[in-house]
Amino acid sequence: MQKQDQYLRQQIEAIIFASEEAVPLQTIRLVTGAELDSALLHEMVEQLNLEYERTERSFRIHRIAGGYRFLTIPGHEELMKKLLAPKIRRRLSRSILEVLSVIAYNQPVTRGEIQQIRGASPDYALDRLLERGFIEVSGRADSPGKPLQYSTTKDFLDLFHLSSLKDLPKLREIKEIMQEQEEKTAPLPFEGAGEKPLYDNARQEFKEP
């Protein structure tokens, strides 16, 4: 029985380790074929976490979003940001990067101003960027309707390894970065794909030397 419990713990550990998302009880039961209930699963996860703590591992299994997943313990946030930033940038679609560049160079900026600059609705990109924490609502414009204004966050600076907004690259350099990214990565079905590229309008006031 003890060996069976140990093997089941290993299976649970492997399933959670291999998943990029929180794994719910139903999935673990389906994959393992075990008659698990929430109490038994919680107990086995706690046993695994005690082992990780005893051996001073840098991670634990946490229950989040209705499931279980591995997370690093406090103290490794900056390390993880450096590791994951390139991957996150690759997952941002061209249209989202364009909206992000418009905000970065014109902040604080309203939705209407972004649309005027790009010539396309920024709604989807704004939702995704707010969701990821790269932009925030920074105030309201002193214009009819008092529209919301958007600005970049510290997470935006961290994503592109910038100390401050003064370190923003010139628009020409952004174009080159995005072009290199497209050449290095195969086409993926990113959200917003197919919209007309409008880098050249990212910063209306910008004059290249």
Q: How far apart are CA 25 and CA 38, in angstroms?
A: 7
Domains of the chain and any CATH numbers: 2-72 (1.10.10.10), 78-201 (1.10.10.10)
Q: Which of 10-14, 59-63, 171-175 has the lowest mean pLDDT?
A: 171-175
The tens digit of pLDDT for each residue in 53-64 reads: 999 998 999 988
- Percent residues over pLDDT 90 in the chain: 39
- Which pLDDT tens digit goes with each residue over 121-169? 999 999 989 988 889 999 999 999 999 999 999 888 877 767 678 777 6
Lowest mean pLDDT among 31-35, 88-92, 184-188: 184-188
